[in-house]
Structure formats: C-alpha cells, structure tokens
Structure 1
Amino acid sequence: MALAVTSTSRASTATGDRVRVMVVDDSVVVRGLISRWLEEQPDFEVVASLRTGQEAVDQVERLDPDVAILDIEMPVLDGISALPLLLAKKRDLVVIMASTLTLKNAEISLKALSLGAADYIPKPETARGVTTSADFKRDLVEKVRHLGLRRRRMRAPRPATPAAPAHPDTRLAGGGARPSVAPPAHTIEKTVALKLRPFSHTLPRVLLIGSSTGGPQALNEVIAQLGRVIDQVPVLITQHMPPTFTTILAEHLSRASGRPVREAQDGEPVVAGRVYVAPGAIHMQVARRDGSPVIVLRDGPLVNFCKPAVDPLLSTAAQVWGGATLCVILTGMGSDGAKGAAELVAAGGSVIAQDEASSVVWGMPGAVAQAGLCSAILPLGQIAQKVTRIFSGERS
C-alpha cells in the first residue's frame, strides 16, 4: 500500500526568505551571543535584541518577527506574562521559551507550551555556560530553523494542483488535526510514495512512544485518551528533555491520564498499569531478567545528538517483546527512532507515525514514514483511538 505525498527541498535563500527572529533576554551577554549565532546563518535575520518582555510586546507588530526567543526571568514583564500578550498581537508568532534548569522554570516552560509557545530550550545557568555550550548553540539554531520555516510554509499560498487521494489512515479528519502545511515559495516539490506495512498479527504487550519538538503537547493529548490501554500493558516514553523537565512532564502526564506516570528507575520491573518516562540525560532501555522485562538506564554517549534517545529504547524492546510491540513516533526534529524502528519492524513489531500536518516538526515521524516502516500515518487526534483499537484486537 502506498500514499503519494509532497516533500520539499530547499532551492535558495533569498534575503526576503530569511526567518526573522526577535531575541528577548535581560542579559546583554546572552542577547549578544544568541544574536551573533543566528546572524551567522544565511537563512536568519535578527530583527531586534530586547531586554524585557514589555519591549517585545510593544514592538512585535512593527518588527513582524517569525520567531521570538523569549527568556522566562526578566524585569518589568517576564516571559510567561509576555507570552499571551505577544500571541494576542501576532497569532502566528513562533515563541521558543528559554529557561535555566530549575524545577520552577521547568514547570513554567511546560505551562508556556499549553499557553501557545511552540517549544522551549534549556539555557545554561551562567553567561559563561551559554558561551561555551556547543549543544545549546546547535539546539537553538536548529529549533529556530525548523520552527521558523514551518511557520513560513503555513503562511505561503499553496499552488493550485490537484490533491492526491488520501489513504484512510492518513487523511485529515476532525480530532485535533492542524491545517495542512503548504510548501514555501523557495522550495522544489517532488512526489514521494509512502508505503504502509500490515500491522503485526500478534496482540501487542507493550506500547512505546518517542517524541521531541512539540512532544509534551502531543503526549498530553495522546496519553489522556489511553486509559484502557495503560491498564492492559506498560507504556514507555522517551521524550527529548533534560533532567528536571522530565520530572515535571511525568507529573503532567499522570494528571492527564489519571494513571501512575513517573521517571523510570534502573532495574524496576516493567508492568501493566504504569507509564515510564525516560529520565533526562540518560538512555532508557529494557532487558529480560529472570524471564521478566525490567528497566535499564545507561549513561552512555549521545545518540542522534540526544540523551535520552528513542533508538536505544526501541532496539532493546525489539529484543524483549519482538512482534508483540507497538510503537508510536510523535512530532520531533531529526531522525531519532528510525534505526530502532527498523529493528523493531524486523522483529515483527508495528509502528504508527504522526502525520506531517499535525506535527510541529515532521522530522522523527517523517523519517520512519519515508523509510517505509509504518503501518499507519495519522493526525495526532486519531492516534489514541487507533492504538486503543489495536489493543482491542484490530489488525488493519
């Protein structure tokens, strides 16, 4: 089974096509560094470097940025207070919250996502840390690029070409799907056939979920609807997040699902009725001990520039559960999860990917979809329903 979809490749970066960025931070050192990093990129234009949230609110309409990098702790008007005011003046503004790794700021960052922020980025605690952190620079640049270009695609007019008929597992329906994403004017379109695989005939005994950019919002929506599934089988989640943030994420998911959700602990048994979240800065894997599956935490090198990464979880789950594994890949940058998903599918398991239109970034789900590893590609609002039906015995 195949689906014809449109993919895009960059052709050029003219001055008018640059992503316009507004940097808002009360530290002059941090503002200067971030502005310089972004200006070094040919596809970015820093339109303002501001000290307070109030300055950003006052100038956002005149500056017309695509992306705002918004610090949380600022004088006059802090980031969480400025966020709704900015979005009220410019609804399609992409806001990336920047915060240091404290429990309070982790809670505020996740709250900001529920208020309309597109993403967050953990910031080193000192100006020196910002200066020396190559990971912070890389993550910041990539988030601005992916989210800024997506915003431009959504605003660009779609060419008047006939739409290809959609497969039932990929067509948009009511259930939370976002508007279709139109390609930017400076891209070249090409058709890619996405082949769908049959679902495994084995009833799954575990659910795995991988996500990154846009993941906290997507996870909340999916987990809130999976009560019956969580009662039947264990659910293991790897979300790209630093320490402290994963603690708060687990608390939010527990409230959303009404089920026990917590950061996984090394050596604990994997049992039905619980949701296990990979702790920040460590890889979550699984293994069999005395015939039963257990959590294994490994403090190894980065995988796909990430820790925790999705691939280690999927690869080891393929060995533990084989064809009795169902995996969902949600929105996220990069291709983490594709290698592990290939091993899982080779062992007889099944993969569902979030579709492009409802993803904040169609990197991770796009990678497994384009590799032909998926049995379904669905809007976010349809994923929980599909998963529930599969655990009830549906095999198509």
Structure 2
Amino acid sequence: MIRVLVVDDSALVRRLVTTSLTLDTEIEVAGVATNGREAIGLVEELEPDAVTLDIEMPILDGLGALDEIRKRHPHLPIIMFSTLTEKGATKTLEALSLGASDFVTKPSNTTSMAESMASVREQLIPKVKALVGARRIVGPGREKPAPPPAPVKLAEPSSTPPEVLLIGCSTGGPDALSRVLEGLPGTLPVPVLVVQHMPPLFTTMFAERLDRVSPLTVREAAEGDVPRAGEVLVAPGGFHLRVKRSAGVVRAHLDEGPQENFCRPAVDALFRSAVEAYGGAATALILTGMGSDGLIGCRLLAEAGARIVVQDEPTSVVWGMPGAVATAGLAHEVLALDDIAGKLTAYLAG
C-alpha cells in the first residue's frame, strides 16, 4: 500500500482528497494535517510514502513546510495543491524550485462534488503512484536503477546542420528544464521549442521564470511566431504547439485539438510537426516525466535522421517519458542531467 499524508487547512478539501485517494485499492491515507507545522511533525511520526501539501495555510504555509521537510527528507514525493490563479501559479513554481515533486490544481468552486472528486483522482492518483514507484527504485536504501537498455542499431543522425532543439518534459521538468537552459549559451545557433505539461497561466509564469535564469530569451509561444536562434518558445497551457514550413519560413501554430497522451500541449504533437518542418535537421531532448508522451514523435524524428537524447534514470524524478524512448531503442544518448547542456551545445554548434 502507498501511504499518503494529506495536508490542507480546508476541511472540505481534506475530505475531497482523502475520499479520492481511498477509493483506489493501492492507496491509504496515513493521516491528515491542517497546517504546515503539524505536517512536519506527522511526516516524522507516520513516515508516509508521499505528501499532498496545500500552499496557503495558517501557522506555517506550504512553502515553509516544504522547505523544512526537504531538509530532512530530500527524496520524499511531495505534491502541491494549487489554485488556477496568477498568485497560485507563482507560488507553485516557487514550490517546484524548492523541491516539490509535482503539483495538481484544485477544482473550481463552481464544480460539483462528483466533478471535483473526478478531477482530483484523474490528476493526483497517477502522480502519487509514479512518484512513489520512482522513489522505491532510486531513493536511498532502495534497489538500484536498472542499467540503460542496450541500444538497438540506430541510424547515425543526419549530417545536415541542426536547425532546431526540441524539448519535451513533464513531472520534474520545471527544475530539469531550468538547469538545461541555464547551461546553454545565449549565442545558441538554433531556436528551442519546449513542451512542458502545464495548465494555462502556469506556462506564462513558467516562461517568465525561465527567462530570468537562462542566457537565452524565453517566452510563451504565440500564433505565427518565427522560431529564431537564441530564443526559446514554450507551448502555452491548453494549446498544442506545432510548426509548419511555408515558403522556406518555419512558423509556430497553436490549436486546441484533442488531447494526446491525456495532455494538451503534447510533446508528440510538436515532434510530429517538426518531422515535416525540419526532417533530420533537428535534435530532440526528452527530460523527466511520467507517461510516454514523445515516444511516437521520437520514433518519427529518428527515422528522419534527427538526433535523440534522453535524461537518465538516476537524475529523473520519474523515468517514464525518457525511459519509454530509451527502452524502445530510440535514444542516441542517455545522459545525466548535468551533462546534457554541454553535450547539446557541442551538437548544435555542428
């Protein structure tokens, strides 16, 4: 059983979360707390496998509790509960920078109890299972990660000079992406296109945060943008980001098409379009994330001659997305997070 500590000052939200979790036969609620100070004590007493943590609470808020828990339990999965507001997005991104594993958004006040419970279950349960499963593989005192799969005979990447860097990520992606973009030079000779699984508004704030830490110019993508060298375009929440070449010029296009891999934006949507726009003149990077979004796109890109790089298991929060690509034998390189920026810089310089 996966034992979860639920922390929220709202009795209604605590009931919503605990009921949603206990409907799953593999999860039990280890305890509940009404503020951050109480949560810190219960983490020590109950030793849960995961924690759901509200941000706005009395006595000690979620950020303060997160900071204290992380000092003592660096690998404990902690999932923040956030509101879909500008303030909520800002606080959530701060929590992720402080070491939160992931976040879910609270249902709006206009939804019914049944709808709210369905929303929580859909968002929260897969993340709890993925994060706890990853910790049981790579956490301290746990079994060691499996060695990377033996690569199949991949065709060498095309010798065509690279024209774009494509990046896909999800759970754990905000921190991983920040570290990669911090390590890339401002003189990068190609544009960077990013899909990070995030809801609307959050991607706007996320792009602004990345712009402050990266030598590159980072902003949320807009319809008709022309990707330019030294610039990073982040797919906006709620929209697929695709690219299309017309009259020799590549432009970004946004659409609200059906979700892919339960996501919009989806990595596969961007990568598929990049095959048509760039062919083998692309380098694709898959960072930490749950699920397998990006697998189909990486297969098509590899067949076109693009170079495929994935983050390794020990440095991934969840080795779902990169693991799917590596296990399928589609990765030209499987790299530790801190090695990625240097290798990409060399590749993209030709």
TM-score for the superposition, normalised by structure 2? 0.94
> Are residues 157 and 362 of structure 1, via their aligned partners in 2, closer, same or farther at CA, if it must alter by over 3 Å?
closer
Residue 290 (structure 2) pairs with residue 333 (structure 1): yes
**Cα deviations across residues 317-371 of structure 1 (Å, max 9, x unaligned)?**
0100101010000000000001111111122211101111111001111111111
Which sections of structure 2, spanning at least 5 residues, go unmatched? Answer: none
Q: Percent identity?
A: 47
Residue 187 (structure 2) pairs with residue 204 (structure 1): no
Correspondence for 1:163: none
> Are residues 211 and 229 of structure 1, via their aligned partners in 2, closer, same or farther at CA, if it must alter by over 3 Å?
farther
Cα distance in 1 for partners of 2:110, 2:51 equals: 20
Q: Which runs of 4+ in 1 moved over 6 A?
A: none
Cα distance in 1 for partners of 2:106, 2:253 equals: 28
* Correspondences of 1:230-249 after superposition (within 5 Å): 230=188, 232-249=189-206
Correspondence for 1:380: 337
Cα distance in 2 for partners of 1:289, 1:136 equals: 42
Residue 131 (structure 2) pairs with residue 147 (structure 1): yes
Shift of 1:384: 0.8
Which sections of structure 1, spanning at least 5 residues, go unmatched? Answer: 1-17, 159-180, 184-189
> Are residues 109 and 48 of structure 1, via their aligned partners in 2, closer, same or farther at CA, if it must alter by over 3 Å?
same
Shift of 1:386: 0.8
> Are residues 156 and 129 of structure 1, via their aligned partners in 2, closer, same or farther at CA, if it must alter by over 3 Å?
farther
> Are residues 157 and 279 of structure 1, via their aligned partners in 2, closer, same or farther at CA, if it must alter by over 3 Å?
closer
**Cα deviations across residues 240-296 of structure 1 (Å, max 9, x unaligned)?**
000111011111111111332111001121221211000001100001233200000
Correspondence for 2:29: 46
> Are residues 344 and 292 of structure 1, via their aligned partners in 2, closer, same or farther at CA, if it must alter by over 3 Å?
same
> Are residues 265 and 157 of structure 1, via their aligned partners in 2, closer, same or farther at CA, if it must alter by over 3 Å?
closer
CA root-mean-square deviation: 1.9
Letter in 2 for 1:102: T
SS of 2:3's partner is strand
Shift of 1:237: 0.3
* Correspondences of 1:341-352 after superposition (within 5 Å): 341-352=298-309
**Preserved contact between residue 181 and residue 216 of structure 2 (Cα < 8 Å):** no
Correspondence for 1:306: 263
Correspondence for 1:254: 211
SS of 2:230's partner is coil
**Preserved contact between residue 160 and residue 281 of structure 2 (Cα < 8 Å):** yes
> Are residues 365 and 303 of structure 1, via their aligned partners in 2, closer, same or farther at CA, if it must alter by over 3 Å?
same
Residue 6 (structure 2) pairs with residue 36 (structure 1): no
Shift of 1:85: 2.0
> Are residues 261 and 156 of structure 1, via their aligned partners in 2, closer, same or farther at CA, if it must alter by over 3 Å?
same
* Correspondences of 1:358-369 after superposition (within 5 Å): 358-369=315-326
SS of 1:335's partner is coil
Shift of 1:149: 2.0
Correspondence for 2:48: 65
Cα distance in 1 for partners of 2:110, 2:56 equals: 14
**Preserved contact between residue 21 and residue 121 of structure 2 (Cα < 8 Å):** no
Shift of 1:86: 2.2
Shift of 1:193: 3.1
Correspondence for 1:27: 10
**Preserved contact between residue 289 and residue 317 of structure 2 (Cα < 8 Å):** yes
Shift of 1:127: 7.7
Correspondence for 2:225: 268
Cα distance in 1 for partners of 2:171, 2:142 equals: 25
**Preserved contact between residue 310 and residue 322 of structure 2 (Cα < 8 Å):** yes
**Preserved contact between residue 247 and residue 279 of structure 1 (Cα < 8 Å):** yes
**Preserved contact between residue 272 and residue 301 of structure 2 (Cα < 8 Å):** yes
* Correspondences of 1:214-233 after superposition (within 5 Å): 214-228=172-186, 230=188, 232-233=189-190
Residue 279 (structure 2) pairs with residue 322 (structure 1): yes
Residue 266 (structure 2) pairs with residue 282 (structure 1): no
**Cα deviations across residues 36-57 of structure 1 (Å, max 9, x unaligned)?**
2222223222111222222212
SS of 1:31's partner is helix
